[in-house]
Amino acid sequence: MGRSFDPARDGFGFRNPVGEVAIGSTMGPLLRWLGAILYGNGLCFGMVAMALRRFEAPELQPPLVALSPTPEVLGEIRRYHIRQYMPRAVLAAVMEWLRSRGGRPGGVLGRVRLAGAEPHLICFGPAVNRRFLWCLLRAHAVAPYRIEAAGRETRVYVYDPNYPEDGGRYVLFRRDGAGRIREFEYEGFGTPRGWGVSLFPLPAIGDTTRSHLRAIP
């Protein structure tokens, strides 16, 4: 594409909303209950997916970093966020989790596609252990855009909507003496804490959301 993804330029300028802001306050009781299930833990998937799609269309203005969390913008993010629950997206997520052998970090580095054409999201979620459901309900998504390797460690730099405009965040992957990737670390997520990591292909959310990009004021 001739340019690199930059969280300070291509991501949102506001933090991933949670609670009432993420759910929305104008819905009826039933929709608010459903919204609490779908959005209550935040809109990280929607924000990351929208940022990656917007990166593919840099001619669209204004840039995401210039937007405020207005009801219209949050509504647009929710439309992206909800796409992860569609059948095609759920199937893609399950297949990628299986390809990573149940969230093992060795199934990520050699396959990850960075921001650009048909990129991946990196998802922190369950591994095959007793914390499976706990991690599933607290899953988090980030956008990978640069890889740096040194010795037994590899850093995958990511855009994380929990930390807007921060270009210094990375997922750390570590190899053992035989060169096999054994663990990863990122914030409170990591193999030592029982978390798994897998990829999600952005095209799996479909192309219908593309038409909403121009609706942003």
User: Whole-angstrom Cα distance, residue 176 to residue 181?
Assistant: 6
Q: In what order do the strands lie in the sheet with 153-159?
A: 189-190, 181-186, 170-175, 153-159, 140-150, 120-126, 195-201
Residue 119 lies in a domain: yes
pTM comes to 0.89
Residue 102 in domain: yes
Predicted confidence pLDDT, tens digits, the chain (217 residues) = 568 999 999 999 999 998 666 666 555 565 555 555 566 678 999 999 999 999 988 788 789 999 999 989 998 998 999 999 999 999 999 999 999 999 999 989 889 999 988 999 999 999 999 999 999 989 999 999 999 998 899 999 999 999 999 999 999 999 998 889 999 999 989 999 999 999 999 999 986 445 455 556 5
Q: What is the pLDDT of residue 38?
A: 62
Number of domains in the chain: 1
Residue 72 included in any domain:
yes
Classify residue 136: in a domain, yes or no.
yes
Q: Give CA angle at 126 (21, 205), nearest 5°.
A: 60
Q: Looking at the domain assignment, is residue 2 inside a domain?
A: no
Angle formed at CA 62 by CA 64 and CA 57, multiple of 5 degrees: 75
- Which domain range does residue 102 map to? 7-215
How far apart CA 55 and CA 213 sit, in angstroms, is 11
CA-derived radius of gyration, the chain:
17
* DSSP letter (8 states) at residue 161: T
Separation of alpha carbons 193 and 3, rounded Å = 36
- Given this model, what pLDDT does residue 34 score? 58
| CA pair distance 60, 127, nearest whole angstrom | 38
Do the domain assignments include residue 169?
yes
